[in-house]
Amino acid sequence: MIILLCGLSGAGKTTLAYSVKNKFDELGNRVEILDGDEYRKMLFKELGYSQQDRMENIRRLGFIAGKLSKHGIITIISAINPYQEMRDELINTYPDVRTVFVDCPIDILTQRDTKGLYARALLPDDHPDKLHNLTGVNDRFDVVITPDLHILTGTQTLTESTELLLDLITSQLIPA
């Protein structure tokens, strides 16, 4: 099974992924997290943030997830994954893909802003530190219209969000 955690920067995708992984580790299930930021730093250094590069990043993560999933490893891709056509490509390419929209309002994300990205994106256009391609602010993010699960991290606690995702995954693991 492949879980696509999609949402804006700071929405809680990676935190949620590790919380779920820890729960599954306790139960003896094999879970691997493919964190978009981590893989960009370590393996995909040549990719930038153009639409083409963002799609290639997700395509590569999907390929790795597909290989792991074939071996019975629950694979969670934690990445912004802003384009619906890329999500659809993964869903149509690999079996047993579930999309989870990790949703949080911009005002809360701006308050969290652990990486300083929102502050930079909201600078005046002529400012030398202006970030011109922050997804959801000044770059495109296609809202996930029909996710398998919609998690609202602005109002739901990590515990609640973890339970929701655990329920989704375990309901798919149990044979009908």
Q: Give 76-115 pLDDT, tens digit per residue.
A: 999 999 999 999 999 999 999 999 999 999 999 999 888 8
Give percent above pLDDT 70 in the chain. Answer: 98
Fold of 2-104+142-170: Rossmann fold (3.40.50)
* DSSP-assigned beta bridge partners for residue 78: 5, 35
Which residue, chain included where needed, has tokens 């370590």? 42
Mean pLDDT within 105-126:
90
Which 3-state string (H, E, C) describes the chain? CEEEEECCCCCCHHHHHHHHHHHHHHHCCCEEEEEHHHHHHHCCCCCCCCHHHHHHHHHHHHHHHHHHHHCCCEEEEECCCCCHHHHHHHHHHCCCEEEEEEECCHHHHHHHCCCCHHHHHCCCCCCCCCCCCCECCCECCCCCCCCCEEEECCCCCHHHHHHHHHHHHHHHHCCC
Report the pLDDT value the prediction gives residue 152, as an integer from 0 to 100: 97
Q: What is the pLDDT of residues 140-176, one digit of tens each?
A: 999 999 999 999 999 999 999 999 999 999 988 755 4
Looking at per-residue pLDDT, the higher value among 41 and 76 belongs to 76
Report the pLDDT value the prediction gives residue 114, as an integer from 0 to 100: 83
Tokens of 58: 């997700």
CA dihedral 37, 40, 45, 51 (to 10 degrees): -100
Report the pLDDT value the prediction gives residue 40, as an integer from 0 to 100: 83
Strand order in the sheet with 97-103: 31-35, 74-78, 2-6, 97-103, 149-152
Confidence of residue 5 (pLDDT cuts 50, 70, 90): very high
Domain boundaries, the chain: 2-104+142-170
Report the pLDDT value the prediction gives residue 27, as an integer from 0 to 100: 85
